[in-house]
Amino acid sequence: MIGFYLVEVANNNIQDGDHNMGNEFDFPIEPYRIKVVEPIKRLSREEREQKIQQAHFNLFNIAAEDVFIDLLTDSGTSAMSDDQWAGMMKGDESYAGCKNYHHFTESIQSIFGFKHVIPVHQGRVAENILFSTILKKGDYVPNNTHFDTTRANTMHKGGKPVDLIVKEGRDPKSLEPFKGNMDVAALEDFIIEKGKDRIPLVMMTITNNTAAGQPVSMENIKKTSEICRKYGIPFFFDAARFAENAWFIRQREEGYADRSPMEIAREMFSYADGCLMSAKKDGLVNMGGFIACNDDALEEEMTRLLILIEGFRTYGGLAGRDLEAIARGILESLEPDYLEFRIAQVKYLGDRLVENGVPIIQPVGGHAVFVDAGQMFPHIPPSDYPGQALTVALYREGGIRGVEIGGLMFAQKDPVTGKEISPPLELVRLAIPRRVYTNAHLDFVARVCGKINDYRDKLRGFEITYQAKYLRHFTMKLKEKKSAGSTVDAQA
């Protein structure tokens, strides 16, 4: 087992080192070696400028080959292991009952323990199928924080998504260890106020992606489960990053330091009635997902819809080889060496950013570092999207792609005035793909961010020139308020 511990940043009192594993080194070390490489290149500054203009300042419109370091998402971007690739060759592409389906359900059940497992090609289809089956128009869906597709799928079925995260989760300065938690008192009040008949399920996102990837404690999971059981409301996880959440519980929650991630994960799921999972995160694959549940009638109804919109029950929109890669990857994601490095590498980037004077959400979450663009650019009002100013600057300066998690993604409309209401924080997420980049890549990212921080007063905001009704950030076009940005090129 590779041992290391983490250097504590001055303003972070959370002890994230794993002291059972030896403290010989002060930096994360990859618990794997690299067998295949994919060349990447950085375009010249002039070329990057041309690309960002052509993309209407929306990073989703930039070709991946024009990006040097791609931190847009940790979803579907993992490097698979040699064992997963070997499994791909074992793909059984039969229409019905392929052997990989059985391995897939076996692996998932060994962790999650639910009776039924329904494969889908990615997480948002799981959302669509579940919500199409159990939501009625006007129903509420409480969650600690909905991810954007979960929110949009709830609304698409006429439901009302409600975020009930603890107050510490909304405070970028709070160093609470479980800032992703559900506000259980608020949840119970909400159930009493609206009535359990208008709440077909309660969801919990682990880790809490939109709230800076912050984890949820076992205690909070247990309490949420108790409330759901008291009122007879099904409790489902959005389990995309369950393994990372399990590692935080091991590191930060009393009584779990000696438990394996597998044991912790099993305990987490024992409190729920089902889950949705995008396997593109902690499944360590490039495509895939599933719904799992215990309720026979619910499974039957969802399977009917699955066959209509995704595929037969034993492949659900995936090839046999994809099912095999998930069967293997989901178990790898719980390996202690892997998780120890994973969480430490993300924190490594956070620590380097802090050293470069860049304000970030602390403590660093599981899959990404969230830069507080609102704090970095106080001269850009939320209505001019300060997060987008940083996102564009990162591409211009270093060919780095991050994603705005602020007004562009989450602004709501005032039902009376129609005016946009900005979310409380204007963030930029630098998501770290799993097993893909080395710490040298992350040092480069931190240097580029630091450089932008040095000329932050020069950056300007953006306005939207085109937007779609749902999930507008994917396809919107933007215009810069004034031409700005540095002419200095970052050198790694």
Catalytic: 148?
Answer: yes
SS3 of residue 172 by DSSP: coil
- Closest distance to ligand F0G from the beta carbon of 49 (Å): 26
Known active-site residue 473: yes
115 in active site: no
CB nearer ligand F0G, residue 150 or residue 225? 150
Task: Rule CB under 6 A: choose which of 139, 238, 332, 340 binds ligand F0G.
Answer: 238
HSE of 290, CA atoms in CB hemisphere, 13 A: 29
Choose, by CB under 6 A, the member of 58, 78, 107, 150 that binds ligand F0G. 150
Residue 208 Cβ, how far from ligand F0G at the closest point, in Å? 8
Residue among 103, 146, 451, 473 flagged as catalytic: 473
Number of residues forming the site for ligand F0G (CB under 6 A): 15
**Contact between residue 346 and residue 353 where contact means Cβ atoms under 8 Å apart:** no
Minimum distance from CB of 149 to ligand F0G (Å)?
Answer: 5
Cα dihedral sign for 464, 465, 470, 472?
Answer: negative
Task: By CB under 6 A, tell whether 145 contacts ligand F0G.
Answer: no
Question: Which of residues 78 and 122 has its CB atom nearest to ligand F0G in the complex?
Answer: 122
Is residue 281 annotated as a catalytic residue, yes or no?
Answer: yes
User: In the bound complex, what is the minimum distance in angstroms from residue 54's beta carbon to ligand F0G?
Assistant: 23
Determine the Cα–Cα distance for residues 1 and 357; give it in Å rounded to an integer: 34
Which residue, among 190, 183, 199, 285, has the nearest Cα to 235 in the 3D structure?
A: 199
The single residue of 74, 139, 148, 273 carrying the catalytic annotation is: 148
Residues composing the chain: 492
Subset of 317-376 contacting ligand F0G (CB under 6 A): none
- Of 5 and 290, the one with the shorter C-beta distance to ligand F0G is 290
444, two tokens: 């480069």
Least distance in Å: CB of 248 to ligand F0G?
Answer: 15
| Start-to-end CA span in the chain (Å) | 32
Is residue 327 within 8 Å of residue 87, measured between CB atoms?
yes
Q: Which helix (H) or strand (E) holds 429?
A: strand 427-431
The yes-or-no answer on residue 95 being catalytic is yes
Residues 6+ apart with CB under 8 A from 1: 21, 22, 336, 337
Q: Would you give the binding string for ligand F0G spanning residues 255-294, x where CB under 6 A is met?
A: -----------------------x-x--------x-----
Restricted to residues 110-129, the positions that interact with ligand F0G (CB under 6 A) are 122-124
Q: Would the CA dihedral through 226, 228, 230, 234 be positive or negative?
A: negative
Check if the beta carbon of residue 144 is closer than 8 Å to that of residue 241: no
User: Residue 26 CB, nearest distance to ligand F0G (Å)?
Assistant: 30
| Closer residue to ligand F0G in complex, CB, 12/210 | 210
Which one, 205 or 422, has the nearer CB to ligand F0G? Answer: 205
**Closer to ligand F0G by Cβ: residue 74 or 183:** 74
Q: Which of 25, 60, 95, 466 is catalytic?
A: 95
Restricting to residues 58-77, which ones interact with ligand F0G according to CB under 6 A? Answer: 73, 75
Rounded (5°) CA angle 450-393-355: 15
| Residues of this chain, 164-223, that bind ligand F0G according to CB under 6 A | 205, 209
Query: Binding residue for ligand F0G (CB under 6 A) from 149, 214, 217, 220?
Result: 149
**Whole-angstrom distance, CA of residue 30 vs CA of residue 319:** 30
For ligand F0G, the closer CB: 147 or 348: 147
Nearer to ligand F0G, 144 or 225 (CB): 144
For residues 401 and 102, what is the distance between their CA atoms, to the nearest angstrom? 38
**How far apart are the C-alpha atoms of 400 and 297, rounded to whole Å?**
47
In this chain, which of 68, 147, 178, 236 binds ligand F0G, going by CB under 6 A? 147
> Kindly report the CA angle at 61 between 57 and 66, in degrees rounded to 5?
95
> Cα separation of 234 and 264, whole Å?
21
Nearer to ligand F0G, 58 or 205 (CB): 205
- Spot the catalytic one: 147, 237, 248, 437: 147
Three-class secondary structure of residue 19 per DSSP: coil
Residue carrying the six token digits 């108790």: 226
- Minimum distance of ligand F0G from residue 129's CB (angstroms): 12
Closest Cα partner for 91 from 282, 311, 327, 284?
Answer: 327
What is the footprint of ligand F0G within residues 423-452 (CB under 6 A)? none
What single string gives the DSSP state of each residue in 370-422?
EEEHHHH-TTS-GGG-HHHHHHHHHHHHHSEE-EEESHHHH-EE-TTT--EE-
Summarize as ranges the residues that interact with ligand F0G (CB under 6 A).
73, 75, 122-124, 147, 149-150, 205, 209, 238, 240, 278, 280, 289
Query: Active-site residues: which are they?
Result: 95, 147-148, 238, 240, 281, 473
